[in-house]
Amino acid sequence: MNLCIECSDVLETLSYLSAFSASQWVTTLGRHSKPFNPLLGETFEYVRPDLGYYCVTEQVSHHPPVTALHCEAEKWTFWEEYKLDLKFRGQWVRVLPTGLMHFKVKSTQHHYSWNKPHTVIHNLIFGSLWADHVSIMCACLLCCRDLINTGI
């Protein structure tokens, strides 16, 4: 995230954010355990004074599961609302995340947003488990004072 605030170009920032958002699926091949499932109202706080940011997350609903995340640094803010729907079809399950992720650069007020792709987990009953990400992840710049003022 700190690299994003140093970018002078909006497209370069989008490329860093795309890499950040895709990095969470790097370990999909070897990770087939039950996900973390906190209790309603349970919070988790992560503070990194050496890197200058903190994160707070809370389970705001248990059925359906909804999680809110907020991270803040001196020059940027990141937040996410995460809700998922499941479609179970016997041999596979499709995970449909419906929340959005947001990143805002405080100095320029650039506000970026992106969604998470759908994931299908195959061979739930027989065979070895494997996961496939099957939808398009879309990242965009939602509002930008500089672009609006220049007429672009």
Closest C-alpha among 79, 46, 69, 150 to residue 108: 150
In tens, the pLDDT along 95-104 reads 888 888 899 9
Tell me the pLDDT tens digit for each residue of 13-42. Answer: 888 888 888 887 776 666 666 666 778 888
Tell me the per-residue pLDDT of 41-67, one tens digit each, with 9 for 90 and over.
888 999 999 989 999 999 998 888 888
User: Dihedral of CA 129/89/67/144: which sign?
Assistant: positive
Band of the pLDDT at 144, cuts 50, 70, 90? low
- Residue 11, phi-psi category: left (phi > 0), alpha (psi -120 to 50), beta (remainder): alpha
- Look at residue 147 in the predicted model and tell me its pLDDT: 44
Q: What is the pLDDT of residue 140?
A: 78
One-letter amino acid for residue 45 of the chain: E
pTM > 0.85: no
75 close to 107: Cβ distance less than 8 angstroms = yes
Average per-residue pLDDT for the chain: 82
Percent of the chain having pLDDT more than 90?
Answer: 20
Q: Give pLDDT, residue 7.
A: 83
